[in-house]
């Protein structure tokens, strides 16, 4: 399978700040790709360089097998982190405009916008001014602007930020649907739960460098299937000192324990059961959240 | 090209669809003409009140006929325009004059005329007043003294001449001015006739270039503050966006100028057809087709030269307030030619006018000004267009560079030095 996007050793410096520092990874076509990292890790800068909004100082970017130009841009959809619409325009007129700058004929853009407005329950608002829409409705309208050209690659920067849970659910389902139709999805987030639920490929970046990249399942495998979730009553502080335990992540109701390779989880269960009242014991893959914390959290430094 | 057209289309229709555009277009000419009407009206009101003149006459022979002659000048309501009060000179003319100055200062007297004993002495005639610029009153007073002093001199010379006859013989000559045009015709024309219409057109140029130029700045700032800029740049390149905006707003301006040109031409044609009067022909000359065409051409060049600078201001600023400050030098460049109008209409071919009309930033207004008074040599017009074309190209390139860097900068406003560096990088 060929790649939708290839980044080859790209670098970008703003003043003295190295925003992106030798970043390389590939995004295979048809995948849902999560670009993960802390705030300020370089996610938005990377995405802007993919969109050719800013240019890298060095390195090369290929999109759909070609260097970026106007005709490639028409095959992309882009939702920046800072959303914006024309407040004084009528909804349908604005959708027509955003479709037309993606290379569509204005009438065609209008024709494509209507079913989307219908589906996202904005049909009654099509002749209203954008500024009269509620925030949730504006988010929907904004989303329509990014997909009118039926993009081959849809790039979303923090798509769920500022959304209420209902809208989040609507958009998650929409994105999965779009992905099933063959579109490559690239989105950035610092919320690992969203990434876990949507992505099959990820790159984790920190300080402008890729810390991890690859398919989610292979990354999880790499970090061990030897992860145990344990729910119990009593003082579990001693768990960290047991032989074979590498790390303990505490949550409110349970702990997640990384064990060294080759260790038998059954022995952990026995040791725990001897001193605690165990309510749940589960051998599982590590969560992305914990991998993230391990790689870029305060202890990783 | 498609994308440039689509941006242009949005800019154009979003402006033209607004009621404000049409109301503005309609009101604007009345606004400009109104500025002049108010001035003329104001000066008419001012001169239409009685002005009390005091006169101290050491000769004892001039004051009475002076007052009599002035009394013939009436206001609209029939009362004397210059009521005269004769002040007795007493023992010293000079002392009386000084004693009476307080009445001028308080405004009781508009002017105080003092006539010394020796009418051949150069410093003998004196007017003390506050309002220096009132040429009309000065002329009237001078003329009223002139005739009687001449009478006294004549009497003294012992020539046997009737003072009235002499007055007729030595009456002032008034030149009637005609303008020789290229086609060899001559047209009756005075300074005011050249100045007022030219000034009206030049002011229209100024406001149109400024309004539409600043629309560019405002549009960019709004796209930045509503965060729509980055969404746009995901679809179009900065150059396409800027080109589309410049052409779109340009077309809005051209629509407006077009409406003015066509309606002026139509009004002129209709007026000449229905009432073919001599006076009207002179009036029609003000909006001759050639002049209207020059107006359109110089508007377009003016717009294209300045809109790039306005685009740089928009790209560099995040708020209207910042932009207001940064645009001051541009407004200065636009104002300067307007302030020269008075001088250049009188001297359209002077070295100053020629040089200024060939500096591209000033060309649109100064060259138009010159054309509307006396057609300058063809080579100068051609050269000015060439220079303006080059300037448009250079400015456009510089603006495109600043635009690319500036549009996504939200933080601190870059300094003028930084802007300059970006422009030519």
> Which value does ipTM take for this structure?
0.80
- Residue A16: the pLDDT is 82
- Residue A94: the pLDDT is 93
Percent of chain B residues past pLDDT 90, beyond the cut: 15
Mean pLDDT calculated for residue range B12-35: 87
pLDDT band at B199 (very low <50, low <70, confident <90, very high): confident
Closest partner residue to B7 among A79, A82, A101, by Cβ?
A: A101
3-state secondary structure of A60: strand
Residue B303 pLDDT > 90: yes
- Residue A282: the pLDDT is 82
Closest partner residue to A145 among B229, B231, B236, by Cβ?
A: B231
Burial call B136-150: b when 16+ CB within 10 Å, e when fewer: ebeebbeebbbbbbe
3-state secondary structure of A254: coil
Q: Report residue B54 as tokens.
A: 């005091």
Alpha carbon of A299 to those of A41, A191, A240, A292, A295: distances in Å? 17, 19, 16, 11, 8
Residue B158 pLDDT > 80: no
Nearest residue in B to A100, CA atom: B6
Contacts of A87 in chain B (CB under 8 A): 226
A221 CA to chain B: closest CA distance, Å?
36
Query: Which residue, among A182, A178, A214, has the nearest Cα to A291 in the 3D structure?
Result: A214
Contacts of A98 in chain B (CB under 8 A): 231, 235
Task: Pick the residue of B230, B403, B410 with the most A CBs within 10 A to test the interface with A by mutation.
Answer: B230
**Distance (Å, whole) CA A103 – CA A166:** 32
- Residue A99: the pLDDT is 92
Opening angle at CA B227, ends B221 and B228, nearest 5: 90
Nearest residue in B to A149, CA atom: B235
Mean pLDDT calculated for residue range B292-298: 88
B9 CA to chain A: closest CA distance, Å?
9
pLDDT digits (tens, 9 = 90+) for B230-247: 888 888 888 889 999 999
- CB of B9 within 8 Å of any CB in chain A? yes
Cβ of B226 and A53 within 8 Å? Answer: no
Residue B15 falls in which region: left (phi positive, over 0), alpha (psi -120 to 50) or beta:
alpha
B402 neighbors B312 (Cβ within 8 angstroms):
yes
Contacts of B393 (CB under 8 A, 6+ apart): none
Query: Residue A128 CA to chain centroid, in angstroms?
Result: 32
Opening angle at CA B259, ends B257 and B260, nearest 5: 65
Closest partner residue to A86 among B226, B236, B237, by Cβ?
A: B226
Residue A182 falls in which region: left (phi positive, over 0), alpha (psi -120 to 50) or beta:
left
Cβ of B6 and A97 within 8 Å? Answer: yes
B246 CA to chain A: closest CA distance, Å?
16
- Residue A106: the pLDDT is 92
Partner residues linked to A157 by β-bridges: A188
pLDDT digits (tens, 9 = 90+) for B93-131: 888 888 888 888 888 888 888 888 887 777 788 888 887
Q: Report residue B181 as tokens.
A: 């045009």
Query: Which residue, among A34, A88, A215, A199, has the nearest Cα to B14 in the 3D structure?
Result: A88
Contacts of B14 in chain A (CB under 8 A): 86, 88-89
A37 CA to chain B: closest CA distance, Å?
22
Closest partner residue to A84 among B6, B9, B226, by Cβ?
A: B226
Task: Pick the residue of B222, B229, B235 with the most A CBs within 10 A to test the interface with A by mutation.
Answer: B235
Task: Pick the residue of A17, A53, A162 with the most B CBs within 10 A to test the interface with B by mutation.
Answer: A53
Interface of A with B (CB under 8 A): 48, 51-54, 70, 73-74, 76, 78-80, 82-89, 97-98, 100-103, 106, 142, 145
Nearest residue in A to B11, CA atom: A97
- Residue B276: the pLDDT is 60
- CB of B6 within 8 Å of any CB in chain A? yes
Please, what's the largest Cα pairwise distance for chain A? 72
A199 neighbors A32 (Cβ within 8 angstroms):
yes
Query: Residue B161 CA to chain centroid, in angstroms?
Result: 49
Across all residues in chain B, what is the average pLDDT? 82
Going residue by residue through chain A (301 aa), what tens digit of pLDDT does each one get? 578 889 888 998 887 888 888 888 889 888 999 998 888 888 888 998 898 888 888 888 988 888 877 678 888 999 988 888 998 899 999 999 999 999 899 999 999 999 999 998 888 998 999 999 998 899 899 999 999 989 999 999 988 888 888 888 888 889 989 999 889 999 998 888 888 888 888 888 888 888 888 888 888 877 766 788 888 887 877 888 887 787 888 877 788 888 777 778 888 888 888 888 888 888 877 778 878 877 777 655 4
Query: Which residue, among B255, B290, B247, B292, has the nearest Cα to B392 in the 3D structure?
Result: B247
- Residue B8: the pLDDT is 92
- Residue A300: the pLDDT is 55
**Distance (Å, whole) CA B394 – CA B390:** 6
Residue B279 pLDDT > 70: no
Cβ of B6 and A100 within 8 Å? Answer: yes
A227 neighbors A286 (Cβ within 8 angstroms):
yes
Contacts of B191 (CB under 8 A, 6+ apart): B177, B345, B346
Predicted TM-score of the model (pTM): 0.76
Q: How many CB atoms lie within 10 A of CB B220?
A: 26
Closest partner residue to A53 among B2, B9, B234, by Cβ?
A: B234
Dihedral of alpha carbons A40, A45, A50, A51, sign:
positive
Residue B351 pLDDT > 70: yes
pLDDT band at B391 (very low <50, low <70, confident <90, very high): very high
Contacts of B236 in chain A (CB under 8 A): 101
Task: Pick the residue of B6, B12, B418, B425 with the most A CBs within 10 A to test the interface with A by mutation.
Answer: B6
Which is more confidently placed, A127 or B174? Answer: A127
A148 neighbors A92 (Cβ within 8 angstroms):
no
Cβ of A76 and B2 within 8 Å? Answer: no
- Residue B299: the pLDDT is 92
A153 neighbors A77 (Cβ within 8 angstroms):
yes
- Residue B414: the pLDDT is 73
Cβ of A101 and B230 within 8 Å? Answer: no
- CB of B413 within 8 Å of any CB in chain A? no
- Residue B424: the pLDDT is 73
- Residue B410: the pLDDT is 57
- Chain A and chain B share a number of CB contacts under 8 A equal to 65
Query: Residue A67 CA to chain centroid, in angstroms?
Result: 24
| Count of all residues that appear for chain A in the document | 301
Mean pLDDT calculated for residue range B391-419: 79
């Amino acid at each position: 399978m060929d790649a939708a996007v290839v980044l080859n050793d790209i670098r970008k410096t703003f003043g003295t700040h190295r925003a992106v520092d030798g970043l390389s990874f590939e995004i295979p076509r048809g995948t849902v790709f999560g670009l993960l990292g802390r705030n300020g890790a370089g996610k938005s800068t990377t995405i802007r360089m993919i969109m050719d909004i800013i240019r890298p100082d060095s390195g090369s970017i290929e999109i759909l097998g070609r260097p970026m130009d106007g005709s490639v841009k028409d095959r992309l959809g882009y939702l920046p982190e800072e959303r914006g619409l024309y407040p004084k325009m009528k909804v349908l007129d604005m959708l027509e405009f955003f479709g037309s700058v993606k290379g569509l004929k204005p009438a065609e853009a209008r024709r494509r916008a209507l079913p989307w407005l219908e589906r996202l329950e904005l049909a009654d608002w099509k002749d209203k001014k954008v500024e009269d829409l509620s925030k949730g409705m504006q988010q929907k309208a904004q989303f329509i602007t990014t997909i009118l050209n039926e993009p081959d690659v849809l790039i979303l920067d923090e798509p769920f930020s500022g959304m209420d849970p209902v809208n989040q659910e609507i958009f998650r389902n929409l994105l999965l649907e779009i992905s099933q139709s063959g579109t490559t999805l690239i989105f950035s987030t610092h919320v690992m739960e969203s990434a876990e639920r949507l992505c099959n490929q990820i790159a984790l970046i920190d300080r402008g460098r890729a810390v991890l990249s690859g398919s989610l399942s292979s990354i999880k495998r790499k970090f061990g299937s030897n992860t145990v979730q344990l729910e119990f009553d009593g003082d579990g502080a001693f768990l960290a000192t047991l032989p074979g335990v590498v790390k303990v992540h505490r949550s409110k109701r349970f702990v997640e324990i990384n064990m060294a390779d080759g260790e038998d989880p059954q022995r952990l269960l026995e040791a725990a059961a001897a001193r605690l009242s165990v309510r749940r014991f589960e051998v599982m893959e590590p969560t992305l959240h914990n991998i993230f914390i391990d790689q870029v959290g305060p202890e990783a430094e | 090209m498609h994308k440039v057209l689509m941006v242009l289309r949005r800019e154009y229709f979003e402006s033209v669809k607004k009621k404000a555009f049409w109301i503005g277009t309609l009101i604007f000419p009345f606004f400009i003409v109104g500025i002049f009407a108010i001035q003329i009206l104001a000066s008419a009101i001012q001169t239409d009140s009685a002005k009390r003149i005091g006169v101290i006459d050491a000769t004892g022979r001039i004051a009475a006929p002076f007052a009599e002659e002035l009394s013939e000048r009436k206001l609209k309501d029939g009362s004397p325009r210059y009521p005269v009060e004769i002040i007795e000179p007493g023992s010293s003319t000079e002392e009386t004059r000084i004693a009476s100055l307080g009445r001028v200062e308080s405004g009781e007297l508009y002017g105080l005329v003092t006539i010394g004993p020796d009418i051949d002495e150069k410093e003998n005639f004196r007017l003390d007043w506050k309002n220096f610029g009132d040429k009309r009153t000065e002329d009237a007073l001078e003329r009223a003294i002139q005739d009687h002093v001449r009478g006294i001199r004549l009497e003294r010379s012992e020539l046997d001449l009737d003072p009235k006859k002499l007055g007729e013989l030595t009456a002032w000559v008034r030149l009637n001015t005609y303008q020789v045009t290229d086609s060899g015709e001559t047209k009756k024309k005075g300074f005011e006739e050249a100045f007022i219409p030219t000034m009206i057109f030049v002011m229209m140029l100024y406001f149109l270039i400024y309004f539409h130029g600043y629309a560019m700045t405002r549009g960019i700032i709004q796209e930045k503050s509503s965060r729509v800029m980055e969404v746009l740049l995901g679809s179009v390149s900065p150059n396409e966006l800027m080109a589309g905006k410049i052409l779109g707003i340009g077309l809005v301006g051209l629509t407006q100028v077009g409406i003015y040109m066509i309606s002026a031409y139509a009004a002129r044609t209709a007026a000449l057809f229905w009432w073919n009067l001599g006076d009207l022909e002179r009036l029609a000359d003000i909006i001759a087709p050639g002049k209207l065409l020059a107006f359109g051409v110089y508007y377009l060049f003016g717009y294209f030269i300045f809109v790039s600078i306005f685009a740089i201001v928009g790209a560099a600023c995040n708020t209207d307030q910042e932009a207001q400050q940064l645009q001051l030098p541009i407004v200065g460049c636009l104002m300067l030619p307007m302030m020269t109008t008075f001088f250049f209409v009188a001297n359209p071919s002077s070295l100053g006018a020629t040089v200024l009309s060939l500096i591209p930033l000033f060309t649109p207004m100064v060259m138009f000004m010159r054309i509307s008074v006396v057609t300058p040599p063809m080579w100068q017009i051609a050269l000015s267009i060439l220079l303006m074309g080059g300037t448009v190209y250079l400015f456009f390139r510089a603006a495109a560079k600043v635009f690319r860097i500036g549009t996504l900068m939200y933080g601190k406003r870059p300094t003028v030095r930084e802007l300059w560096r970006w422009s030519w990088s």
